[in-house]
Homo-oligomer: A and B are copies of this chain.
């Protein structure tokens, strides 16, 4: 059923770029531990990435240090892309010892589809996000932690219940939000306290 004949009609650079974009489509079938707010199904990493770009546009005023919103949005577009090669690791799962190596290998495959200049450009942005050291990356990370909190609350517990999470563990796993935005960290804590009250998150370990 597949036909790549048409790619032969294009120059090599454009053909490589379109192959990259078609491969990226697979991110739509990488499912996360978190559900969409209707509770109907698990969220995939592509729609999650879109949602985060909207978070960035709307919440940029709360970044603790002024951010370059265009760069934050680019990071969020790219931040989970390698998952179509190596899958999503839920925040509550124990980190595999070889996770960093697996992610680098996936990045070689994914970004390797692009022409060299563009491969380097986009991988550099992704690595900046991963390192979480710059103001832009810290704010992007904060949003990536905040969004599933709101969704877990909206569905009445979600992965907090599935993974038997208590408020201390949840705070420890999401306190990167504070580094990007103390205001949003306060909001996250209001959510946690309500979730404990509602019985969706344990009060103590």
For the complex, what is the distance from the CA of A62 to the CA of B179, rounded to whole Å? 38
* A10-B47 in contact (CB<8A): no
Binding site secondary structure of chain A: helix
Among A46, A69, A118: residue with most chain B CB under 10 A: A46
Q: Which residues of chain B come closer than 8 Å to A27, judged between CB atoms?
A: 47, 50
Of residues 121 to 140 in A, which have CB atoms within 8 Å of B's CB atoms? Answer: 122
**Complex: how many Å from CA A193 to CA B150?**
46
Find out whether the CB atom of B36 lies under 8 angstroms from the CB atom of A28. Answer: yes
17 contacts between A and B (CB under 8 A): A1-B155, A2-B156, A3-B153, A5-B194, A14-B183, A24-B51, A26-B37, A26-B38, A28-B36, A29-B36, A29-B40, A44-B47, A46-B47, A46-B51, A53-B53, A58-B114, A73-B73
